[in-house]
Amino acid sequence: MKTTGRVNGIISNIVIVKADGPVGQNEICYVWTGDTKMMAEVIKVIGDAAYVQVFDSTRGLKIGDRVEFEGHMLEVTLAPGLLSRNYDGLQNDLEKMDGLFIARGSITDPVDYDVEWEFSPLAKVGDKVTAASWLGEVKEQWVMHKIMVPFTMTDCYTVKSVAEVGKYKITDTMAVLTDAEGRDHEVTMVQKWPVKQAVRCYTEKPRPSRIMETGVRPIDTFNPMAEGGTGFIPGPFGAGKTVLQHAISKQADADVIIMVACGERANEVVEIFKEFPELIDPHTGHTLMERTIIICNTSNMPVAAREASVYTGMTIGEYYRSMGLKVLVMADSTSRWAQALREMSNRLEELPGQDAFPMDLSAIISNFYSRAGLVKLVGGQTGSVTFLGTVSPAGGNLKEPVTESTKKAARCFYALSQGRADSKRYPAIDPLESYSKYLEYPEIREYLDEHIEKDWVDLVYAGKTIVQRGKEANDQINILGDDGVPVEYHERFWKSELIDFVILQQDAFDDIDANCPMERQQMMYKMVLGICNQEFAFADFEACSQFFKGLINLFRQMNYSEWKSEKFEGYRKQIEQYVSEQSK
Binding site as annotated, residues:
235-242
Which secondary structure element, helix H or strand E, spans residue 375, and what is its range? strand 373-376
Picking from 178, 169, 120, the residue whose alpha carbon sits closest to that of residue 149 is: 178
User: Rounded to whole angstroms, how far apart are CA atoms 438 and 442?
Assistant: 9
> Residues at the annotated binding site for ATP?
235-242
Integer Rg of the chain from CA: 27
The strand pair at 86-87 and 292-297 is best described as parallel
User: Rounded to whole angstroms, how far apart are CA atoms 575 and 520?
Assistant: 16
Q: What angle do CA 294, 299, 305 make, to 5 degrees?
A: 65
Between the CA atoms of 390, 395, 401 and 407, what dihedral angle is there, to the nearest 10 degrees? 40
Nearby residues of 433 by Cβ (< 8 Å), 6 or more positions away: 398, 413, 415, 417
Which secondary structure element, helix H or strand E, spans residue 232, and what is its range? strand 230-234
The maximal CA–CA distance of the chain, rounded, in angstroms, is 90
User: Rounded to whole angstroms, how far apart are CA atoms 524 and 237?
Assistant: 31
Picking from 530, 522, 517, 499, the residue whose alpha carbon sits closest to that of residue 562 is: 517
Secondary structure (3-state) at 9: strand
Q: How far is CA 265 from CA 270, 344, 395, 406, in A?
A: 9, 21, 18, 22
User: Rounded to whole angstroms, how far apart are CA atoms 140 and 320?
Assistant: 12
Residue 206: what are its φ and ψ, rounded to 5°? Answer: -75, 170
Secondary structure (3-state) at 480: helix
Burial zone of 271 (CB within 10 Å; 0-12 exposed, 13-18 middle, 19+ buried): middle
437, HSE (Cβ side, Cα atoms, 13 Å): 13
Angle between helices 541-559 and 566-583 (to 10 degrees): 170
User: Rounded to whole angstroms, how far apart are CA atoms 327 and 83?
Assistant: 12
User: Rounded to whole angstroms, how far apart are CA atoms 368 and 69?
Assistant: 26
Neighbours of 581 (CB within 10 A): 9
- Measured in Å, how far apart are the chain's first and last C-alpha atoms? 90
